[in-house]
Amino acid sequence: MSAPAAWVGARLGVRVVDGDAPGGVRLGALVGLAVRRNPRRAHLLVSTVLGKHVPTDPRLVHGAGLLLGELVRLRLRGRAPALPGAGHGPLLGNAVHGTHGAVRALRDRMREPRGAVDAVVVGYAETATALGHSVADALGGAWYLHSTRRPVPGLTPYGAFEEEHSHATGHLLLPSDPAAVSRDVPLVLVDDELSTGTTACNTLRALHATHPRARYVVATLVDVRSEADRVRMRNLAAELGADIDVVALATGRVELPPGVLTSGQRVVAELSALPQPPVPSADHGAGRVDLAWPDGLPSGGRHGFTPQDRRRLDRELPRMAAVLAAALPPAARRVLVLGCEELMYAPLRLAEALADALPDARVRYSTTTRSPVLAVDDPGYAIRTRLTFLSHDDPADGPGDRYAYNVAPGADASRAFDAIVLVVDAPADTPALTDGLLERLRALAPVVLAAIPDGRPPA
């Protein structure tokens, strides 16, 4: 089963070409294609295992991240997998292709670390925050931090860097314990894709200037760098006097025809001028649940997440999933757990626990995003529908539009959800949420709202 890429290939001439498959699945099965509303880059690789833009079985999302983390662990231990997927390739392939029971088998096989490895793992906001968490999970002994676009008064940034092609470029690192980042252990940098490696190189150079170290690993779901890009990273390693390894589930390349930026902008303008589908006006209602989130447990890696935090969360997840299950409509069989922007890991793990608690239901997971992408309701296109709403967490760079993709069913009623669980943290639980995203979701299905603490360090 190929990921949806045919539409973009036909209209823009963009082509995904498979390379090596260390994770056991080729590039073309791990990504689809969409068109960005972004003058810097025309196309968007849409992951089939990330759970960002496409509602996905949460056990596949966590399992794929754990598998990536296992490849990192092998590399840090000085071992390279002799066969695709380090012996686990068929598990990921079967899970991606929908083989019955494969997603649970992948997650169950990968969830226990195979010997703890001490490292600092850094994930990118917003798309790779949960992926970085999952890599850290697989290492067992790793301390985790993800970048953020949400500053905290009184908390001095450890570092900052830019992501040139992104819609929102500024990243901050805000650890509550800067000394934990500066330990003399390998640093693992995690992103969902490595397109040119520019952002990774910028980040490594900035982190090395703050605290030099001898070993870095860049981990990504897909690596589509050119040979010139690979040479540039090797040159950076020589410049820094450090080892820089790259680990990916799949490699390959994206072939772009001349003038693709202009063609992409023309397609966006053409389709945006067409009449838009009517906005649903129903109101299925919303309820709120108290998960009794454990006191002092961070909601994610925005300010740091330890192996002890991870073990505590694992113990609490079945209880919290039971609270969510009890709040769902009795007949709900297609359930979406929706996170918000950087808040990806807690919703992912809640969705995973809910899927385990409701074996007869089809639980899916995705999150909202800042990234503007063209939606085309066609089976050959990765982003079928788009909900647009205003930001609701008082962002430092000012209010703006936010998006939830593939949540509305579009013309295919079989894609509709029976219930939606919306997970936000405290700064995002505002009147603007009620009047914006929550209202849009209530028009689609009954909504259960779960607000958790934001894990901000005490003043």
Written as one letter, the residue type at 340 is: C
pTM: 0.95
Q: In whole angstroms, what is the distance from residue 48 CA to residue 277 CA?
A: 25
**Nearest to residue 391, comparing CAs of 436, 440, 452?**
436
CATH of 286-300+307-452, one of 3.40.50, 2.60.40, 1.10.3470, 3.30.70: 3.40.50
Q: Would you say the CATH fold of 286-300+307-452 matches that of 6-255? A: yes
Q: CA–CA separation, 418 vs 335, rounded Å?
A: 6
The pair of structure tokens assigned to 68 is 């990536």
- Looking at residue 308, its pLDDT comes to 96
| CA R_g for the chain | 21
Residue (of 377, 365, 447) closest to 412 by Cα position: 377
Rounded Cα distance between 60 and 293, Å, is 24
| Sheet strands side by side (includes 120-123) | 15-18, 243-255, 215-223, 187-194, 120-123, 143-146
Question: What is the spatial distance between Cα 196 and Cα 192, in angstroms, rounded to a whole number?
Answer: 13
pLDDT tens per residue across all 459 residues of the chain: 357 999 999 999 999 999 999 999 999 999 999 999 887 888 999 999 999 999 999 999 999 999 999 999 999 998 665 444 445 558 899 999 999 999 999 999 998 877 889 999 999 999 999 999 999 999 999 999 999 988 888 888 887 666 554 444 477 999 999 999 999 999 999 999 999 999 999 999 999 999 999 999 999 999 999 999 999 999 999 999 999 999 999 999 999 999 999 999 999 999 988 888 887 889 999 999 999 999 999 999 999 999 999 999 999 999 999 999 999 999 999 999 999 999 999 999 999 999 999 999 999 999 999 999 999 999 999 999 999 999 999 998 889 999 999 999 999 999 999 999 999 999 999 999 999 999 999 999 999 999 999 877 765
Residue 153, strand partner residues: none
Half-sphere exposure for 458 (CA within 13 Å, toward CB):
3
Residue 382 identity: A
Give Cα separations from 200 to 6, 35, 230 (angstroms): 29, 23, 12
**Residues forming a β-bridge with 215:** 243
What residue spans define the domains of the chain?
Answer: 6-255, 286-300+307-452
pLDDT of 83: 41
Token digits of residue 57: 């079985």
The CATH number of domain 6-255, selected from 3.40.50.620, 3.40.50.2020, 3.30.450.20, 3.20.20.70: 3.40.50.2020
